[in-house]
Amino acid sequence: MKRLASLIFAAASCCLAAGQLQLFQAPQNGTEQLVTGSWELPSVQTGDSVSTRFRIRNTGDAAVSLTALRVAGTGFSMTGQPSLPHIVAPGTNVDFTIIFRAPDSGSYSANLLVNSTGILLRASGVPAATVHWNGTALTSDTSIDLGRLERGSETVSRFELRNGGRETVGVNSVSVEGVGFSLTAPSPAPVVLKPGESATFDLRLRPLTSGILTGKLIVDRREFRLTATATEPQMPRPAVILDSGTLRSGQQGRLSIRLASPSKANVKGRIRLDLRPYGDVKDNDGAARFITGGRSVDFEVKEGDSIIRFGADGELIYQTGTTAGTIVFTVEAGGFTEQASLTVAPEAAMIDRGTAARSGSTIDVRVSGYDNTRTVSEVAFTFYTKTGQALSGMPIRVAVARDFASWWTSSTLGGMYSLKASFPVTGDAAQVTAVEVQLTNTSGTTKTERLSF
């Protein structure tokens, strides 16, 4: 049924105000067209809308006051107009937009009033099925927000094609565009709907990436914007697994980072090694570290991982260094902070290697190792003859606390040391053929084997 509005409009002339204002239809990317008397807007499907931009230009050489600008008619509205009164300077424009939304099929008209001049606007509503979602009839300018969901999960939304009019309508095509968006079944179109009939279809969203997602639902020529927000799945809680809870100084250990379940997320993380020495010992231990990366190692958790891999290994090698205390491993990933620790006990000074050599009448003794307590106070030397007897006056005890304290202050190697002592010999130095070296700290004493030279 056609519906006509009975409107009386003023006779149109080529100019809207005393030889100065003219009205044009101004498309976004096209040529302006002079509007005289009436204007036909594009047809639109029932329930949908169309926007048309118009432009008032002052073609004269004097300013004109725009005092009236309005539209009246079923389905017609105006946006973008200036507040009135508005002075239009010579050569300048005023733009505004007329929106027509077809409530039903049929013909519609409206009066566009510009100052004292009226223009007849016409438009038609074409019979079509309306698209409904969540009980709401959709128009082309509405955005369908499918909500928040985790990347890799899925949501299905039901849409309905409904014929609320009095004529049979057809829908030729239904399609979806956008990464992650799809129809769950073959398109319901083409479909013919009698008055009162409807057809449904389901739209699936399965985000492949996290972030803001956009797509389009296209029903014949109508497009409906789809949006959603995909969040990164939560990573499972990580745990640091040590191969031992107690190690000595000077040892290498292994650890792994395991997840409570296979990860659904791709996440970056970091594991850190912190050394907390006992007492007031300073952490200057360059050997307390991971084999790769020093005191921290970055890693990536990939979807499906349940063990973090470091290079080709599933384990990370670390050194306990040469400082007594607690080593704390902290892993940070996916919003979690988890820790594991191991104890490195104080011990008597460790001698890793001892050598002695005669050079003329001097005997050089070198001892290297570590003192993880930094408290070595005495070094004792016992020299032996070739018959295996200790020389009289042995051992030679030397107080070394101050020398070592100075060394620890400047060293960056924790408790490591290499001590060289030279002994000038008076008499037959060839008779002296071996030496034992003993170090004493607060945890005890350590002695080398008999070093021959």
Partner 1 sequence: MRFGILFLVAAAFINADIERPLIGTIRDLAGDLRPVYGVAGAFVLGDVITEDAESAKSASNRESARAEAEGTLEGDEVVIRRTGVRLRAPAGVSDVETLGKGWLLLRSPSRLYAVRTDAGREEIYALPEADK
Binding residues for partner 1, per CB under 8 A?
A: 249-252, 286-287, 289-294, 311-312, 317, 319-322, 350, 352-353, 368-370, 383, 391-393, 396, 398, 400, 403-404, 407, 411-414, 416-429, 431-432
The nearest distance, CB 330 to partner 1, in angstroms, is 20
By DSSP bridging, strand 222-231 and strand 252-259 are unpaired
Q: Does the CA dihedral 426-431-434-440 come out positive or negative?
A: negative
Q: Which is nearer to partner 1, 145 or 300 (CB)?
A: 300
DSSP collapsed to 3 states, 113-160 = EECCEEEEEEEEEECCCEEEECCEEECCCCEEEEEEEECCCCEEEEEE
Task: Sort strands 267-277 and 325-333 into parallel, antiparallel or unpaired.
Answer: antiparallel
Q: Which tokens go with 4?
A: 């006509």
Q: Which is nearer to partner 1, 304 or 424 (CB)?
A: 424
Which of residues 79 and 431 has its CB atom nearest to partner 1 in the complex?
Answer: 431
Between 207 and 415, name the residue whose CB sits nearer to partner 1.
415
Q: Return the HEC string of 269-336.
A: EEEEEEEEECCCCCCCECCCEECCCECEEEEEECCCCCECCECCECCEEEECCCCCEEEEEEEEECCE
Cα distances from 130 to residues 99, 100, 138, 195, 221, in angstroms, run 18, 16, 7, 12, 12
Q: How far is the CB of 448 from partner 1 (least distance, A)?
A: 13
Q: What does each C-alpha distance from 159 to 114, 126, 171, 183, 193 come to in angstroms?
A: 42, 21, 14, 10, 15
Of 39 and 381, CB closest to partner 1: 381
User: Shortest distance, CB of residue 275 to partner 1, whole angstroms?
Assistant: 12
Among 443, 353, 439, 450, which residue's Cα sits nearest to residue 398? 439
Q: Which is nearer to partner 1, 101 or 289 (CB)?
A: 289
Q: Which is nearer to partner 1, 3 or 295 (CB)?
A: 295
Q: State which residue, 200 or 418, has the beta carbon closest to partner 1.
A: 418
Q: What number of other Cβ atoms are within 10 A of residue 308's Cβ?
A: 24
Minimal distance, residue 238 CB to partner 1, in Å: 23
- Least gap, CB of 152 to partner 1 (angstroms): 33
Minimum distance from CB of 255 to partner 1 (Å)?
13
Characterize 391-428 residue by residue with b for buried, 16 or more Cβ atoms within 10 angstroms of its Cβ, and e for exposed: eeeebeeeebeeebeebbeebebbbbbebebebeeeee
Minimum Å distance from CB 240 to partner 1? 19
Residue 258 C-alpha from the chain's centroid: 22
CB of 436 to partner 1, least distance (A): 15
CB of 283 to partner 1, least distance (A): 14
H or E element that contains 338: strand 336-344
Is 115 or 249 the residue whose CB approaches partner 1 more closely? Answer: 249
Task: List phi, psi (to 5°) of 254.
Answer: -130, 145
